[in-house]
Chain A
């Protein structure tokens, strides 16, 4: 099994509280991996640590995949609340930001970048919103725009922070369809996920986290009653009863 992302003894702390404690995970190249755990388990922190955005106290993050350009660029889809939706820009411009990593210094996006942006917008069925101010979008539309921006980047690793939060069922289905398509093209996809009821349907691999690593592996092996209880504690049983 090819490994795309590996963390070794990763420890991250904000102030005195460790958010991640001695975490060793291996995320395979192929398939969709779900990062699951209770609130405050360090799920988003794990994504940010992979991106290199949080100071690590100890440990390593190794990326084993690089994209065509040879750089280890990552298609990151932040939580929708992470950005200011009142920022003065249009949907088209936001998606085009995905091409900026390919531009040389001082270069501005040209015809080719515009065409790629248009294609990415079509992929998420947002082409008619291209000229909209981003503040005028609904939650699901915002999520689709973020996804399009990650597509246009043509990364081989995608990290997504709760892309289904605050999104209606129709959009969620559409997103998951797109993700499957991405996976089938051979990309590595990692999602932070909240809803335990859909884990078995959505993910090939699961990382169960509660500050420390609880379990990590293929979904049938990892997403078991014992592991869920280990990660979620007593509440885990109630959550489980809701699934079955």
Chain B
């Protein structure tokens, strides 16, 4: 094992995964508390179209296949945000309700992304690097390079620092947006900021968890952390820790047992953490359920 750990690639992958888990876990708390988990899932699925388009666009421009996160992540952000803004436009202009709008948009973006992916993989002459594009469906941490690590660290740090700087305002916006408007806060701009933070929390992890499973790395640590604390700061810290441990553990397991895909292993670990929390938390756990009589 120690010999295994000395492998530079493995260290990059495990460290990068922990970083991703920490960022996604922390930012996921807002998605969880604002009940936007499904919106997050739409962003994650829709980003496939952006990933494939970015890969293809880079190929058309440079003539070679480039799967660096510096290419992939901007594509994913654009597609994820586009899906949400289109949903908003559709629900605003027609009588289609939000859930239906989100469902349709997910299908369109993910479906088109899959179509483009398959087409690119069969196109002649073959584009180098295209075969491993599949990894973005369920995650593939082994391909992570130190360059990717920089990208993850950069946008992850930017997102977390922004979250900390705007802490009070984001908290009140999440808890009671109408009251925040009464205080005179720029509610719309803050909402957009929160949305962007959530999108970053998602796209940063696409490489290890994949578009299909990413939502669990975003929301499950938050749901698990919520069981243990009644304090938002502690919840964010705990969710971040759970996310980091599970993501790093998943990446390590899938590196040791090379047949295990990373995303599903990570999902299994966060699910384990979630189930354990829901069962065992002393104040909210199902095993300790007491009937509260208030006042």
A contact residues vs B (CB 8 Å cutoff): 15, 48, 51-53, 71-76, 78, 82-84, 87-90, 93-94, 97-98, 100-101, 103, 105-109, 133, 135-138, 140-141, 149, 153, 155, 159
Contact = CB atoms under 8 A, between A and B. Distances in A.
A93 B230 CA distance: 11
A84 B171 CA distance: 13
A15 B172 contact: no
B235 interface: yes
B183 A101 contact: yes
Given A84-B33, A159-B182, 15 more contacts: A76-B178, A76-B182, A78-B176, A78-B178, A82-B178, A88-B234, A89-B232, A97-B171, A97-B179, A100-B169, A101-B183, A106-B165, A108-B167, A137-B295, A141-B295
Given A78-B176, A82-B178, A103-B168, A136 B292 contact: yes
B235 A88 contact: yes
Contact of B175 (A72, A83, A108, A141): A83
Interface string B215-246: 00000000000100111101100000000000
Given A84-B175, A109-B168, A89 B182 contact: no
Contacts of B169: 100
Contacts of B234: 88
A106 B230 contact: no
B181 interface: yes
Nearest to B235: A88
Given A71-B184, A83-B176, A97-B176, A88 B168 contact: no
B294 interface: yes
A106 B164 CA distance: 8
A88 B232 contact: yes
A153 B168 contact: no
Given A73-B184, A76-B182, A88 B231 contact: yes
B166 interface: yes
A51 B181 CA distance: 7
Contacts, number: 88
Contacts of A74: 182
Contact of B178 (A53, A135, A137): A53
5 contacts: A83-B175, A84-B175, A88-B33, A97-B176, A100-B169
B167 A89 contact: no
B185 interface: yes
Interface of B: 33, 95, 165-169, 171-172, 174-176, 178-185, 226, 229-232, 234-235, 292, 294-295
A197 B80 CA distance: 54
A97 to B, nearest CB: 5
A155 B183 CA distance: 9
Nearest to A159: B182
A202 to B, nearest CB: 22
A39 B61 CA distance: 62
B178 A108 contact: no
A89 B175 CA distance: 9
A212 B185 CA distance: 30
B183 A100 contact: yes
B213 to A, nearest CB: 26
B177 to A, nearest CB: 8
Contacts of A71: 184
A48 B179 contact: no
Contacts of B182: 51, 73-76, 155, 159
B168 A72 contact: no
Contacts of B183: 73, 98, 100-101, 153
Given A103-B168, A133-B230, A53 B295 contact: no
Contacts of A155: 182
Contact of A88 (B176, B230, B294): B230
Nearest to B283: A133
